[in-house]
Amino acid sequence: MALFPRSIFTRLVGAAILLSLVLLAGLWWLTHLSVSATIQQATLSEVDVDLAGLVDIYASGGERELAARIADRLALVPAEGGAPHYLLVDGKGRRIAGDLAEWPPLDPAISESGIIAIGAGSRANARAVQLSPDLKLVVARGIELETPVRASIAMAFAAGGAVFVTLVALLGRLAAYQLEQRIARINLAFRAPQDAAALLAARKGAGDEIDELAAHSAAALLRVSDLMAAYKDTSEQLAHEIRTPLAHLNHRLVKALAARPSEEMAARLAEARGEIRRIVQMLESLLDIASSTAQRGDRSGLAPVDLSALVSELCELYAGSAEEGGLELTWAIAPEVTIPGDPRQLRRLVTNLLDNAIKYVPAGGHVTVTLEPGPVLVVADDGPGIAPADRARIFERFYRGQTSADAEAPGSGLGLALARAIAERHGLALTLERPADGRQKGAVFRVAKAS
C-alpha cells in the first residue's frame, strides 16, 4: 500500500485540511498570547489603582489606618478579577498587615513590578513601593483567571476548528469529486478513443481550463482517429492493389507450369512462385506490424483469451514438424492462464517464436516451451544461438543475422519484429534472455508483462 494516496485530488484535500489545522493552531497561539498579555496588563492596572489608593490612605491616616484598610480589603471577596494580596512590613522586615508570608523579590525603592508566586501553583501580578524609610508595601492581584479563560478559548477553538476543518474537508472533497469526474471523462476518452466525440459533445461547465483541456483532448483524439482510419483504408487499398497483380501473376505461372515446360523452365517458374508468396507474406507482416504498433496501449477490442489452451494447441501442432526435423519439442503449460487479447495476433506471436526455434535448431536439438501465470511465456532451444553482434538488432525489421561467417539467415527478417509489435500491443514485452544454465549456445525468448 502506498504511503500517500495516488489521487492528486485526495492529496489536495489532505493538504487543505493540514493547512487549516496549522492556521488554526497558529491563530490559537496568537490568541493565547494576546489574552495572556491583556489579562496581565489589566491585573497590573488594578494593582496600580489599588496601590495608589493605599498610598493616599497612608498619607492621610498613617500606618494604623493603612493596616486597617488592608484588613478590610482582604475580608472582601471580589466579584470579578483576581483576589488581592498585600504585605505591609516595617524596616526590619516584620509583617504589620497582609496575607503574604514573605517579601517577594521586588525592589520597593524603584517601585518594581513583576509576577510573584503566592502559593502552590498560584501566581500574581505585584508592585512594591517604599512608603517611608521604615515602611514598605507590596500589592498583588492573582491571575488565576488567566487559566480558565485560556481553557475556554482553547475549547472554543477546538469546537470551532473541528467544524471548520470538517467543512473544509467536505467542501474540498465535493470540489475534488467534481474535478475527478471531469478528469475521468478525459481519461476515459483516451482509454476508449471511440468516445472522444461524445466527450467533445458533452463539454459543459464554466468554460475553465479543464473544459479547454477536454476540448483539446477530444479534438486531438478525433484527429488521431481520422488519421488511423485513413491509414487503415490506405493500407488495405495498397495491399489490395499489390495482391491483385501478384495473384494474377501467380495464376499465369500456374498456367505456364501446366503447359509442361522444360525442367529448367519449370524450376524457374516454381522459384518465381515462391518469391511471389514471400512478397505477399512480407506485405502481410508489414501491415500487421504497423497495425499492432499503432494499437499499442489501446485495450479496446481485446477479449479474454485462454493462453494456456492456445499455446498447448500450437505446441501439439508443431510437435509433428519438430519430429520430422529430428527435433524434440517439449512443453509445460500452467492451466487457466488468461489475458485480454486478440486470439489471432497471440497465435501469430507464438507461431513466430516456434517457427524461429524449429528453423534454426539442427537435428538432434531440443526446444522447450513453458507458460506460467503472469503471464510468462518462454521459448528456449539449444541450437547455435544468436551471435553477440546480432542480439541488439534481431527485433529490427528486415534484419537477419548470420547463420555462418558468410551466410545470411533465411526469411524476410520480419518474424521477430512482428512478434515484438504484437506483444507490445497486448502490454507485454518480448526479450531475448541468456540461457539460465550458463550455456553459451541456444536462444531463450521470454514474453512477460511489461514493467
The tens place of each residue's pLDDT in the chain, 451 residues long, gives 444 446 777 787 788 888 888 888 888 888 878 877 777 787 888 888 888 888 888 888 888 888 888 888 888 766 555 688 898 998 888 888 888 888 888 888 898 888 888 876 678 888 999 988 889 999 988 776 556 767 777 788 888 888 888 888 888 888 778 777 777 777 777 766 666 666 655 555 556 777 777 777 777 777 777 776 776 666 666 666 676 777 777 778 777 777 778 878 878 877 787 777 777 766 666 666 666 666 565 666 678 889 999 999 998 888 888 888 888 888 999 888 888 888 888 888 888 888 888 888 888 888 889 999 988 999 888 887 777 767 777 777 655 555 544 444 455 567 777 788 888 877 888 888 877 655 557 788 888 887 7
pLDDT at position 2, please? 45
Using the structure block, give the residue that is written with the C-alpha cell 512482428. Answer: 418
Amino acid at the residue 227: L
Cis peptide before 375 (omega within 30 of 0): yes
What is the reported pLDDT for 328?
86
Q: Are 337 and 308 in contact (CB under 8 A)?
A: yes
- How far apart are alpha carbons 338 and 243 in whole angstroms? 36
Is CATH 2.20.110 correct for 8-149? no
Sheet holding 95-98, edge to edge: 95-98, 84-90, 135-142, 122-132, 113-119
DSSP 67-115: HHHHHHHHHSPPSSSPPEEEEEEETT--EEEES-SS--S--GGGT-EEE
- What distance lies between CA 444 and its chain's CA centroid? 35
pLDDT at 138: 92
The two domains 8-149 and 303-449 share their CATH topology (first three levels equal): no
Per-residue pLDDT, 114: 86
Phi, psi of 145 (to 5 degrees): -65, -25
Domain coordinates of the chain in residue numbers?
A: 8-149, 211-294, 303-449
Give pLDDT, residue 212: 77
- Helix extents (H) in 90-207: 146-191, 196-201
Backbone torsion region of residue 51, taken as left when φ is above 0, otherwise alpha when ψ lies between -120 and 50, otherwise beta: alpha
Whether pTM > 0.85 for this model: the answer is no
d(CA 206, CA 185): 16
Residue 365, number of CB atoms within 10 A of its CB: 21
Question: Which residues have C-beta within 8 Å of that of residue 446, sequence separation ≥ 6?
Answer: 376, 377, 378, 430, 431, 432, 433
User: Regarding beta strands 328-333 and 366-372, do their DSSP bridges make them parallel or antiparallel, or are they unpaired?
Assistant: parallel
Asked whether 62 and 121 are in contact (CB, 8 A), the reply is: no
What does DSSP say about strands 376-381 and 444-449: parallel, antiparallel, or unpaired?
A: antiparallel
Going by C-alpha positions, the residue among 42, 28, 31 that lies closest to residue 143 is 42
Note whether 89 and 103 are within 8 A (CB).
yes
Phi-psi region of 301 (alpha: psi -120 to 50; beta: other; left: phi over 0): left
pLDDT, residue 1, reads: 40
- Please give the pLDDT value at position 17: 84
Number of other residues whose CB lies within 10 A of the CB of residue 20: 18
The pLDDT value recorded for residue 164 is 83
Task: Give the pLDDT confidence of 70-109 residue by residue, as tens digits.
Answer: 888 888 766 555 688 898 998 888 888 888 888 888 888 8
When the candidates are 3.30.1330.60, 3.30.470.20, 3.40.980.10, 3.30.565.10, the CATH number that belongs to 303-449 is: 3.30.565.10
What would the pLDDT profile of 221-258 be if each residue is shown by its tens digit?
777 777 767 766 666 666 666 767 777 777 787 777 77
The three cell numbers locating residue 380: 528456449
Residue 405: its pLDDT value, please? 44
How far is it, in rounded angstroms, from Cα 421 to Cα 397?
A: 11
pLDDT of the residue at 4:
43
